[in-house]
Structure 1
Amino acid sequence: MPHPAPLIDPFARPISYLRVSVTDRCDFRCVYCMAEHMQFLPKAELLTLEELDRLCSTFVGMGVQKLRITGGEPLVRRGIMGFFRNMSRHLGNGLEELTLTTNGSQLGRFAQELFDCGVRRVNVSLDTLDAGKFAQITRWGRLPQVLDGIRAARDAGLRVKLNVVALKGVNEDELFDITRWCADEGHDLTFIEVMPMGDLGGEDRLDQYWPLSDLRARLAERYTLTDLPERTGGPARYVRLEETGQKIGFITPLTHNFCESCNRVRLTCTGELFMCLGQEDRADLRAPLRAHSDDAPLRDAIRNAIALKPKGHDFDYSRQSVGGQMTRHMSHTGG
């Protein structure tokens, strides 16, 4: 059979990156991600791991080269390592990278197995190196468990990148400590602006919001920052700190709209495809997946969805109110 044509959106952007949320559940309750007392989806609504395999394999056959597994916390889903093992069959056969974003709590258990499945790098969400603050931000998390997981990942041969959400009044005073720790440990580092996603039960987005333009200016007080031309098709923009040689990324959905080079879509654990993190447009892939054993209707549904991908999102904090806020929680689409 001829190879399906690659996925191209209405703005001539090739879609080569799929983020897949395999569960909405998590063992943390981070204040910017979900409410403390979450109502999770009934398990009956979730796609099975076999169905997720079929969906991801279809996307790979249509030109997706990078697959990132997310959640919730992906490593709390029962049987998830079997899914990673199955996905590894695509590496070198269309898929260039299999990776995941995790809170790090389960890396001590799974780091070596992930490496054995072909995963070579992981993103760990970690916003503070202070145990008290960590407990406050995550509500349920323990920092030593995460640090042990990061060490296990490094020992297994996995490259670690820390994703740090910039939180005003929370981790501002740790900017240089986190930067230095990543340099000393050999970890990559990306700072992220907090995004207006979901009702957090009293958490105020405006109080949390720390623009990365300010964070970068503070870094420049101590380090020489050199802009790097590197582009991954994703939202990050990179600099090199000349004094340490490390690369630091900035993801700025609010102070700098990064949509012009967007190459990604997001699949939820219920089979909804979101073409943009910051828009509510979605497509139901579960129905064609379950209605047909033939993948042709599923491919048609994917193409129809990509044809609706918007040019960009509308996140905005500039009016002292949260513009473009999404009602769904970050955990629903996996960040």
Structure 2
Amino acid sequence: IVEHNRALAFCSSDEIRDHIETKFLLEPSSMRSNGPARYWKIDGSNTHIGFISPHSNNFCGDCNRIRVTVEGRLLLCLGNEHSVDLRGPLRERAASAADIAALVRNSMSIKPERHYFSLHGEPEIVRFMNATGG
């Protein structure tokens, strides 16, 4: 995860879209999903292509995602380590469903405004997706 030059491997969504447009005419689409993808439609078809672009087209302002890690932490951003322990309260028999719901709602106050992914230097977050959950 840290032993390659990410800047050399990086290809922006704009570059990929430009490459696709050598074969197909793309037009911006108003299609939305519940995730961070921005969609383009292939002209003359019903085909949409979604791009998730954390580096080249930051989407943090619209992010509504949280994840529960394999360790039982409520992870509030893929690009930060802000988290809340859910495992402890879930294992305590005294914690009610309302208590857990309140814990999740209250954790939104520490959800970061944005990530700080960088193509240069070492990754700040070294976490594999299979440990992150999603």
Q: Do the structures match in fold with TM over 0.5?
A: yes
In the other structure, the counterpart of 1:220 is 21
CA distance in 2, matches of 1:280, 1:315: 13
Please say if residues 233 and 262 of structure 1, whose CA atoms lie closer than 8 Å, have aligned partners that are also in contact.
Answer: no
SS state at 1:255 partner: coil
Does residue 1:258 correspond to 2:66, yes or no? no
2:127 is the alignment partner of 1:333: no
SS of corresponding position for 2:27: strand
**1:38-117 → structure 2 map (5 Å cutoff):** none
Please state how far the C-alpha of 1:291 moved relative to its aligned partner.
1.3
Q: Partner amino acid for 1:302? A: V
Give deviations 1:35-85, integer Å, cap 9, x for gaps. xxxxxxxxxxxxxxxxxxxxxxxxxxxxxxxxxxxxxxxxxxxxxxxxxxx
Check whether the contact 2:36–2:52 (CA below 8 A) recurs between aligned residues: yes
Query: Aligned partner of 2:61: which letter?
Result: E
Matched, 1:306 2:105: no
Task: List runs of 5+ in structure 1 lacking aligned partners.
Answer: 1-199
Corresponding residue to 1:242 among 43, 59, 63:
43
Q: Secondary structure at the match of 1:221?
A: coil
Asked if 1:282 is matched to 2:118, the reply is no
Deviation (angstroms), 1:324: 6.0
Structure 2 stretches of 5 or more lacking a match? none
Q: CA deviation at 1:243?
A: 4.8
State the identity as a percent: 35
Looking at structure 2, the residues matched to 244 and 230 of structure 1 have their Cα atoms a distance apart, in angstroms, of 14
SS in 1 for 2:50: strand
CA RMSD of aligned residues (A): 2.0
Matched, 1:295 2:94: no
Q: Which has the higher helix share?
A: 1
Count of equivalent residues? 133
- Mark the CA change 1:201 to 1:306 in structure 2 (over 3 Å): closer, same or farther: closer
Among candidates 255, 269, 272, match of residue 70 of structure 2: 269
Q: Secondary structure at the match of 2:110?
A: coil
TM-score if structure 1 supplies the norm length?
Answer: 0.37
Normalization by structure 2: what TM-score?
0.86
2:109 aligned partner, one-letter code: A
Q: Where does structure 1 differ by over 4 angstroms across 4 or more consecutive aligned residues?
A: none
The amino acid of 1:299's aligned partner reads A
- Provide the C-alpha distance between the structure 2 equivalents of 1:324 and 1:201, rounded to a whole number of angstroms: 7
CA distance in 1, matches of 2:26, 2:121: 31
